[in-house]
Structure 1
């Protein structure tokens, strides 16, 4: 049993024993570096993710936004490791860890796995994240085909107001797109995501008739090839009469107040309409 294949590369002692390991076999695997003891009753292989190790080492499981990111959703943790643990566990957590609790349970039991599944992670995120953060992860779960809308709804069954929240989900290819959509719609700006423009392709947002908003992210708009492609698209759109605004990750995540001020000024001026309709404002 030299080769060890484990979900998330973390396993409990009882699972190893149930799979046919002996305690001597576990000890030899530790001596050879194939396994590392994280805490009593838990072991990991050298391939285990550091965030998973920190969560299990603290006495819990990787949970909430951290588990969602681990499964492939957009990461809204800002470097904080979200954990879920038995309600009887007391004491403070090390710096950089946050204890979370599923919305439906005041008495969390000790996690059976190192990483919560998507449904449990989503229920915990409901109780932890802001509305914007929750929409970011829901949009990414849908976009990346990690969950369907039906599965989102089922995971949140009985959550108060879940349909109102899920109705705010929409098409988005990145978390920054969700942020822009949510924030502008909160200002009553009417914008349509993922609009197909003949001769150009799909743009992130179209406000009114001609104001195109493209939202760059660290994930999709880096590198010289993408840079050149994006600028070529922008030039084509401008030649067709569209006004193109391209927002950087920095402008969305860190400089939003000034970014919003500029966008609202353009919209209030009527830049989103063709010449004959300029001056028509969006509330």
Structure 2
């Protein structure tokens, strides 16, 4: 076993498989809404001799290990390598996780913003290959994904707005060469702010200048933290709906 392998990959190999699903997504650098409290492990369909993750000893059984292991059964025989490819990882997440959790991982994999000088982890050809292997439920989830999400909070807000019947456009172009995390109607900018992205002095000053300029242009700007979006959505939605009821998200309100 290579000493360079991450902890969860080593633990999965000790069990008798390889790391999978949300556990593998985290190792691939994908954004995970709810970090898994259990280790997801891909094993062969007919596998039966599994060992403890912590030391590779003893014998465990899938039916009695659900409090710390989630088994994914591969029909292609015993999985090879320490980590599945990204198509396999995302497919596992879509099949296994709640839709919103799966969507956060898929958005992260597909992130492809024009100002980023890095290719998406899941390119268009791989996305097409992913769609071919998904169930109808999985394709429905994938159809709601976007290449324009930069954070879990943005994905969560966009999806929850959709559920509330509100169209929120991701990374909408604004005057001054700026972009909105989400734009509702013509004039309501919704910003989801994480601590790391806005924590430095320069980022803080740039954000203040950006917000002042956009407000001067007549935009309504609502700023929420990642924690508010994820953990206090009812309050966030109520605030947005209050603005919308007054028509302030539309051009004619100016």
Secondary structure of residue in 1 paired with 2:122: coil
Number of the residue aligned with 1:114: 82
Report the Cα distance in structure 1 between the residues aligned to 2:68 and 2:229, rounded to whole angstroms.
Answer: 24
Matched, 1:154 2:129: yes
2:225 to 220, 236, 248: 248
Q: Is the alpha carbon distance of 1:93 and 1:224 closer, same or farther for their aligned partners in structure 2, counting shifts above 3 Å?
A: farther
Of structures 1 and 2, the larger Rg is shown by 1
Runs of at least 5 residues in structure 2 that lack an aligned partner in the other structure = 49-60, 113-119
8 Å Cα contact 1:52-1:115 kept in structure 2: yes
Deviations 1:63-107 (A, max 9, x none): 012212222221234243322223433343385443334xxx6x4
Report the Cα distance in structure 1 between the residues aligned to 2:204 and 2:193, rounded to whole angstroms.
Answer: 10
Matched, 1:127 2:91: no
Secondary structure of residue in 2 paired with 1:157: helix
Number of the residue aligned with 1:13: none
Q: CA RMSD in A?
A: 2.3
2:40 to 49, 57, 82: 82
Count of paired positions:
230
TM-score (norm 1): 0.73
Deviations 1:186-228 (A, max 9, x none): 1111221111112151111111111101111245233232222
TM-score (norm 2): 0.80
Matched, 1:98 2:70: yes
1:236 deviates by: 1.3
Q: Is the alpha carbon distance of 1:93 and 1:115 closer, same or farther for their aligned partners in structure 2, counting shifts above 3 Å?
A: farther
Number of the residue aligned with 1:62: 19
2:216 to 239, 246, 270: 239
Higher relative contact order (CA 8 A, sep 6+): 2
Report the Cα distance in structure 2 between the residues aligned to 1:44 and 1:196, rounded to whole angstroms.
Answer: 46
8 Å Cα contact 1:200-1:237 kept in structure 2: no
